[in-house]
């Protein structure tokens, strides 16, 4: 299938323009390309595939030597263990998932509520040294989290935010606000300012004009931006492992990492927890694929 599409898109004669090789040479090359792509895909996807397999294998198949690729017994026990503790009741990992939902959700909400109006202001008003300000805002994202985590740890200890969901929410929101401002500014720039001008002449205030006329046009952009922020907060590991310790605060990434260690490792459980953890990101990435691939478009707005 892929070969025929490839041939249809890039015809042989063009390819062989400089070096007149036999026609089969072009065909052979596209087969080679396909083979390489398959190998590459296998290498890239193997860990994910192995994780998926491990999560549905019985424990003795997990540890089997030689490794079983196909003929193993399928079980969903590991997925049960992700959510239910051995003695009954809620497992620590499932609590961490709940924490992740709360922390990622609230921090994204906060970043959106703060970032969207800021983006609007940067787009619409003449601000002194606007470019410098925007660069400064962006520059806060240049630094790797590991660099700032120690000072933040010390500050958080002073103000009592250590090992609290609020602490994580604040730091994630702080990281997401610059991103939100930058991405949303692009969306706001796309909406002609005349709508707000017209609304103000109709008799609305500046804020009403933004709220009633511009904001509804920004909803697709806000959704896309929020998903990116959500994925960042959901995946974040460094701050989470440094700033939280107790099970009822800890988010999923450090909690899953915590399953590895000790004398024995329940690989089935680790794999199942990882699958559950990866699913929301995959779903959200699928939802914003248009913005990931085709860039930013606002279909509803015509200039």
Q: Binding residues for another protein, per CB under 8 A?
A: 192, 194-195, 197-206, 208, 213, 216-217, 300-303
- Measured from the CB atom, the residue of 160 and 216 that comes closer to another protein is 216
Q: What is the Cα 298 distance to its own chain's centre?
A: 22
Minimum Å gap between C-beta 298 and another protein is 10
| Closer residue to another protein (CB): 207 or 292 | 207
User: CB neighbours (10 Å) of residue 65?
Assistant: 5
Shortest distance (Å) from residue 129 CB to another protein: 13
Comparing CB distances to another protein, the nearer of 11 and 216 is 216
Output the six-digit token pair for 119. Answer: 């983006």
CA neighbours closer than 13 Å in the CB half-sphere of residue 231: 19
Cβ proximity to another protein, 143 vs 201, nearer residue: 201
How many other β-carbons are positioned within 10 Å of the β-carbon of residue 248?
12
Distance of closest approach, residue 303 Cβ to another protein, in angstroms: 7
- Nearest distance from C-beta of residue 190 to another protein, angstroms: 12
**Pairs from 110-114 (Cβ < 8 Å, separation ≥ 24):** 110/169, 110/173, 110/176, 111/172, 111/173, 111/176, 111/177, 111/179, 111/180, 111/229, 112/180, 112/222, 112/225, 112/226, 112/229, 114/173, 114/177, 114/180
How many other C-beta atoms are found inside a 10 Å radius of the C-beta of residue 40?
Answer: 10
For residue 53, the minimal CB distance to another protein (Å) is: 49
| Residue (206 or 289) nearer to another protein, CB | 206
């Amino acid at each position: 299938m892929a070969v025929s599409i490839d041939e249809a898109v890039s015809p042989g004669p063009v390819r062989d323009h400089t070096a007149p090789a036999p026609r089969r040479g072009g065909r052979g090359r596209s087969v080679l390309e396909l083979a390489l792509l398959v190998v590459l895909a296998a290498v890239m996807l193997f860990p994910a595939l192995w994780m998926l397999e491990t999560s549905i294998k019985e424990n003795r198949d997990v540890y089997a030597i030689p490794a079983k690729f196909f003929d193993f017994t399928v079980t969903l026990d590991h997925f049960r263990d992700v959510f239910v503790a051995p003695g009954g009741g809620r497992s620590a990992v499932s609590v961490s998932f709940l924490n992740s939902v709360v922390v990622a959700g609230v921090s994204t909400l906060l970043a959106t509520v703060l970032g969207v109006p800021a983006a609007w202001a940067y787009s619409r008003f003449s601000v002194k040294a606007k470019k410098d300000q925007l660069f400064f805002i962006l520059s806060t994202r240049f630094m790797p989290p590991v660099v700032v985590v120690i000072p933040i740890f010390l500050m958080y200890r002073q103000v009592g935010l250590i090992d609290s969901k609020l602490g994580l929410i604040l730091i994630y929101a702080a990281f997401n606000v610059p991103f939100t401002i930058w991405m949303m500014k692009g969306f706001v720039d796309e909406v002609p300012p005349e709508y707000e001008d017209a609304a103000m002449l109709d008799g609305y205030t500046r804020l009403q004009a933004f709220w009633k006329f511009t904001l509804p046009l920004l909803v697709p952009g806000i959704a896309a931006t929020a998903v990116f922020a959500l994925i960042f907060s959901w995946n974040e590991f460094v701050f989470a492992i440094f700033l939280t310790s107790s099970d009822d605060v800890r988010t999923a990434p450090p909690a899953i990492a915590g399953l590895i260690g000790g004398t024995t490792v329940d690989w089935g459980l680790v794999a199942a927890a990882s699958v559950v953890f990866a699913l929301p990101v995959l779903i959200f990435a699928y939802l914003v694929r248009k913005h990931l691939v085709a860039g930013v478009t606002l279909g509803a707005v015509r200039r």
